[in-house]
Amino acid sequence: MKKIWNDPVYKSVIVLTAICLVVSALLAVTNLATALVIERTQQQAVEQAMQEVLPTKNGFEEITDSLKALPETVQSVYREKGDAGYVVSLATRSQYSSADMLVTVGIGKDGAVCGIRITNYAESKDFGAQYPQQYLGATAQTVQAVDSVAGVTYSSAALNGAVKDALTAVQEVQ
């Protein structure tokens, strides 16, 4: 054992592996403590976003049928109880970071986007505030025409794909 420890190559491998294992354990413990809180916070953000993209006093009901046939970015589809429209919650990964971009899209009775909000996004700072508003009024026919933002092309394309998927999902469940 002492011979192995004195060999610089073995020692380097053992020390680096041990540090990686300890750090992984630390991350696992932190994840255990924070995962539920993060999930709850994101759920609250989605609920708040639903009210913002399609304001209503009637509340929403989740559509659970036919979700398998929908694009895979679609996480859930809600129908406004007063039949004013739909809200689609999506998660897309077509961007640089591994974290999800979570998008909530409100679609009115006429099939056009009436509200959009990004609830989780950790890249370009100002992208989430202004750019999504360009999709207001977009329909399945016109969504492709919304331009990307130079310098944020991956995120723009991901958002465009998400809105397109939301419109497709609503057409499917109607």
Partner 1 sequence: MNKNYLKILLNGLIKENPVLVLVLGTCPSLATTTNVTDAVGMGIAATLVLICSNIVISALRNIIPDKVRIPCYIVVIAGFVTVVEMLLHAFVPSLYDSLGVFLSLIVVNCIILGRAEMFANKNNVVASAFDGIGMGLGFTLALFAMATIREVLGAGSFCGISIPILRDYCVPILRDAPGGFFVFGVLIAIVAAITGKQHLKGAGCAGCPSAALCGKLGNCAQAEQSAEQEEGTANA
Q: Nearest distance from residue 149's CB to partner 1, in Å?
A: 16
**Closer CB to partner 1, 26 or 136, in the complex:** 26
Least separation in angstroms between residue 174's CB and partner 1 is 33
Chain positions 81 to 100 lying near partner 1, rule: CB under 8 A, are 97
Binding residues with partner 1: total (CB under 8 A) = 24
In terms of Cα–Cα distance, which of 97, 99, 138, 98 is closest to 116? Answer: 138
Is the distance from CB of 42 to CB of 100 less than 8 angstroms?
no
Please provide residue 136's backbone torsions phi and psi, each rounded to the nearest 5 degrees. -60, 130
Paired tokens of 112: 């056009």
User: 125-133: long-range contacts (C-beta < 8 A, 24 or more apart)?
Assistant: 127/152, 127/155, 127/156, 131/156, 131/159, 132/103, 132/159
Q: What is the per-residue binding string for partner 1 in 99-138, x denoting contact by CB under 8 A? A: ----------------------xxxxx-------------
Binding mask 36-75 for partner 1 (x = CB under 8 A): -xx--x---x------------------------------
Nearest CA among 13, 140, 156, 154 for reference residue 71: 140
Say whether residue 2 binds partner 1 (CB under 8 A).
Answer: no
| Using rule CB under 8 A, residue 4 touches partner 1 | no
**Residues at the contact surface with partner 1, assessed by CB under 8 A:** 8, 11-12, 15-16, 19-20, 23, 26-27, 30-31, 33-34, 37-38, 41, 45, 97, 121-125
